[in-house]
Structure 1
Amino acid sequence: MTGTVPELRRRSSCRRVVVGVSGSPGSTAALRTAVAEAGRTGAVVVAVLAWSPPPVTGRGHWGVPVLAALDAGLDAAAERLRGTIDGAFAVGLSRVRLSSFVVRGEAGEVLVRMVGGPEDLLVVGAGAEGLVWRGLRPSVASHCVRRSGCPVLVVPRPAPR
Structure 2
Amino acid sequence: MRTPVIVVGVDGSTQAEAALRWAIDESARRGARVEALLAYHQEPVFVPATSMALHPYGERPRRHPAQELHATVELARAAVRDAPDVAETVVVGEAADHLVEASRHADLLVVGTRGHGPLAGAVLGSVAAKCLRRSHCPVVVIPPPVVDRTR
Q: Could you state the TM-score of these two structures normalised by the residue count of structure 2?
A: 0.74
Q: Distance in 2 between matches of 1:58 and 1:130?
A: 36
Task: Give the equivalent residue in structure 1 for 2:90.
Answer: 102
Q: Secondary structure at the match of 1:38?
A: helix
In structure 2, give the amino acid aligned to 1:80: E
Q: Secondary structure at the match of 1:17?
A: strand
Gaps of 5+ in 1: 1-11, 60-68
Task: Give the equivalent residue in structure 2 for 1:127.
Answer: 114
Question: Of 17, 22, 26, which aligns to 1:28?
Answer: 17
Residues 92, 101 of structure 1: alpha-carbon distance in 2 compared, 3 angstrom cutoff: same
Residues 151, 54 of structure 1: alpha-carbon distance in 2 compared, 3 angstrom cutoff: same
Residues 1:49 and 2:68 are matched in the alignment: no
Q: Distance in 2 between matches of 1:107 and 1:128?
A: 17
Q: Secondary structure at the match of 2:87?
A: strand
Gaps of 5+ in 2: 49-56
The structure whose residues are more often helix, as a share, is: 1
- Aligned-pair identity in percent equals 40
Task: Give the equivalent residue in structure 1 for 2:8.
Answer: 19
Structure with greater Cα Rg? 2
User: Offset at 1:127?
Assistant: 2.5
Q: Distance in 1 between matches of 2:22 and 2:80?
A: 15
Q: Distance in 1 between matches of 2:8 and 2:74?
A: 15
Task: Give the equivalent residue in structure 2 for 1:157.
Answer: 144
User: Offset at 1:91?
Assistant: 4.9
Any idea what the Cα deviations from partners look like across 1:40-71, whole Å, max 9, x if unmatched? 10000000001210146679xxxxxxxxx9xx
CA RMSD of aligned residues (A): 3.0
Q: Distance in 2 between matches of 1:152 and 1:127?
A: 16
Residues 130, 148 of structure 1: alpha-carbon distance in 2 compared, 3 angstrom cutoff: closer
In structure 1, give the amino acid aligned to 2:92: R
Residues 115, 129 of structure 1: alpha-carbon distance in 2 compared, 3 angstrom cutoff: closer
Q: Distance in 2 between matches of 1:153 and 1:53?
A: 28
Task: Give the equivalent residue in structure 2 for 1:144.
Answer: 131
